[in-house]
Structure 1
Amino acid sequence: MGHFVLLLLWSMFSIIAGNDYDPNSIPHINLQKLKNIIASGNEEILVFFYGDFNECGECKKLMPKYHEAVEYLNKLEDGKVVSYKMAIKFPEYGVNTLPQMMLFLKDTPFLYDGRDDESVWEADDILDWVEEAKQTPLQELTDETFEHLTQSSTGATTGDWIILFADRSRPECLKPYLPTISNIGLNLRRRKNAAFIDINSNPVTYSRFNTVLQTNCAAVLFFHRTELYKIPMNNFSTNSILKFVLEDYTYTEHVEVPKEHHEAHSQIDEAVKLLRSMLEEYTQYHTIHAGLLIILMAATMCIVFFLIKKFTKKKIL
């Protein structure tokens, strides 16, 4: 109610004042400072990316609306969210067209999905988006938490999941997609779950889904019950992903969610690969007698049998 009253009073004031705004009331920020703030992971900032008014009519039209929204935001958030303007694109985080608006909640970016619809650039729309984003943090999954949280192999009792698999060590694989995935979680709040997982530091989960991912950079998978869909990465946007997970997936081929890849399985795979590699390397430089070959093969089978027995015993316990 207080939110509505504040908006009403400000609207009346804007009409009386001729809807003018002070272009210097919101500071500009340069690229390096913005990167430093994001890297620190300590601040909440809102940034309006725009271009030359002579070349970008939408930028000129939406700038007053951004200023109006920031006026409200400063009052409601008591300055906790700091607002800026930036007169260039920011492709590192997927800002390739102008105008755009992005919210950084510490190190999590949210991309506003109303760029093509002027009607949702009203102050109350932007304020609602900021408040909802603050209540919808993007979850990060790991090898240890993936199955526990998603329940993907048992029918997704925790609901459907849209998950970005990306290599955090390669910024081009994570940063351009993260703002959109965050915004997907916001749009589908209380209906579906959005998350991301670093494939570089979570090899067990990456190995489990690699046949579907077929990439070492970035891919998005949609988990619907025990069905698994790969979301197209072309035309990567909030609207296209929403359309896929709410409608288009019903016309798309899927695979069954792969069974959970236990640590013991990984140990067995690694042991077999290592012994096979050693055997191949040895045969390149030495003539192996039949007896020695049999001993090596027997040793390999014993190690594999031991690991299987160890895994089975843990599973029973």
Structure 2
Amino acid sequence: MRFFNPIYVILGISILLYVEVYGSDYQYDPNSIPHISTQKLKNIISSGNEAMLVYFYGDFKECPECQRLLPKFHEAVEYLHKLDDGKVVSYKLAMKFPEYGVNTLPQMVLFNQDTSFLYDGTGREEVWEVNDVLEWVEEAKQTPVQELTDETFEHLTQSSTGATTGDWVILFADRSKAECLKPHLPVMGTVGLRLRMRKNVAFVDTSTSEAVTKRFGAVLPSTCASLLFVKKIEVPMKHARGNLLAYSFHRTELYKVPMDEFSVSTVLDFVLDGFQKVEHMEVPKVQSEPNPHLEQLMKTLNSFIEDYGRTHTVQAFYLAIITLLVLGVIGFLVRKFRKRKIL
């Protein structure tokens, strides 16, 4: 379900007016968008100070689609620069970029601060039209893919209680290894974009969030990168007579998302429908971490009890003897008093 956004209305009207004035036969200048080196691209991504739209392509003889889609990229960029005053800088790079999941050509990726988005229109020329690309860019700029940590995971997801934070698509990946986290982020970004306002998309760095990683370790297919889907189920409550009540309770189901063919379409197909065809798992319970202060207090208390028992053993023995003697005397006096009363 798409939600109405006035930004897209304005974009659409602007595009129609531009086409009406300048005509639909677009002629592009191949030198209007500069090329960028791999090292400069990495530096800009690391700084996070610049929003970039990059077109990755190959040799036209070996990649006819690269040549066919390049004019559409130029046209979309021209409109984009006019509408957002150059806030998104555009480049071209004539090679793959496996570090961020660009393993096939052509591809278009938006790098926006610390989030990247892989355009999911490759192979379908019709969706490379100006309005589709611009809508994708605008939605991407409003779609953060948040990181979940040991401190925030359960608070935000409520995965163990089934509370009302919605469904979650969560990537567990090791940031310390180049092949684990970064190559999957562009797909996760666009998955978040396509599911915006319907489902939550996030990632967990398994190299730093040790508690969460340990909690889900038994169900993670890989320690490098694994994708889990946490589905919230609303269960209606029934009265003893069988009538539905006005309230219900929630529970959660956990699914492993296949990553054999990891793409925007395969992830969306699974979380929107495919999960119903596989068995779900139970969400691992929250593992309570030991409190060091409480442990120290318990050790101190146990030590005190042991010391007290050792030093007061003799006193306790004599106290028990005296107690028994007193009870014996009281019993003797009671029996004697009863005999006198009878006589």
Deviations 1:163-186 (A, max 9, x none): 001111112110111111111110
The partner residue of 1:11 within 19, 22, 29 is 19
Deviations 1:11-47 (A, max 9, x none): 235536x421000110001111101111111110000
Tell me the residue number matched to 2:203: 196
Tell me the residue number matched to 1:311: none
Superposition pairs for residues 52-67 of structure 1, below 5 Å? 52-67=59-74
TM-score normalised by length of structure 2: 0.75
The partner residue of 2:141 within 131, 134, 145 is 134
Give the Å deviation of 1:103: 0.2
Tell me the residue number matched to 2:280: 254
CA distance in 2, matches of 1:27, 1:33: 12
Tell me the residue number matched to 2:164: 157
CA distance in 2, matches of 1:14, 1:206: 55
Alpha-carbon contact 1:149-1:158 (below 8 Å) kept: yes
Partner amino acid, structure 2, of 1:169? S
Give the Å deviation of 1:156: 4.5
The partner residue of 1:206 within 185, 207, 213 is 213
CA distance in 2, matches of 1:156, 1:243: 24
Deviations 1:260-303 (A, max 9, x none): 122228x7xxx9xxxxxxxxxxxxxxxxxxxxxxxxxxxxxx86
Q: What secondary structure, in the 3-state scheme, does the structure 2 residue paired with 1:241 have?
A: helix
Deviations 1:155-209 (A, max 9, x none): 1421110000111111211011111111111000111110001111111100100
TM-score normalised by length of structure 1: 0.81
Partner amino acid, structure 2, of 1:144? E
Tell me the residue number matched to 2:326: none
Q: 1:36 to 1:4 in 2, by over 3 A?
A: same
Tell me the residue number matched to 1:91: 98
The partner residue of 1:236 within 262, 265, 277 is 262
Q: What secondary structure, in the 3-state scheme, does the structure 2 residue paired with 1:47 have?
A: strand
Alpha-carbon contact 2:26-2:75 (below 8 Å) kept: no
Q: What secondary structure, in the 3-state scheme, does the structure 2 residue paired with 1:177 have?
A: helix
Q: Which has the higher helix share?
A: 1
Tell me the residue number matched to 2:231: 224
1:167 corresponds to 2:174: yes
Any stretches of 5+ residues in structure 2 without a counterpart? 1-8, 233-251, 303-343
Give the Å deviation of 1:5: 3.0
Q: CA RMSD in A?
A: 2.0
Partner amino acid, structure 1, of 2:18? W
Partner amino acid, structure 2, of 1:3? L
The partner residue of 2:58 within 51, 63, 80 is 51
**Larger CA Rg, structure 1 vs 2:** 2
Deviations 1:185-240 (A, max 9, x none): 10001111100011111111001000001432110100012111111110000000
CA distance in 1, matches of 2:139, 2:61: 34
Alpha-carbon contact 2:58-2:106 (below 8 Å) kept: yes
The partner residue of 1:125 within 122, 126, 132 is 132
Figure out how many residues of one structure are paired with residues of the other and give that number.
Answer: 271
Tell me the residue number matched to 2:44: 37
CA distance in 1, matches of 2:69, 2:257: 32
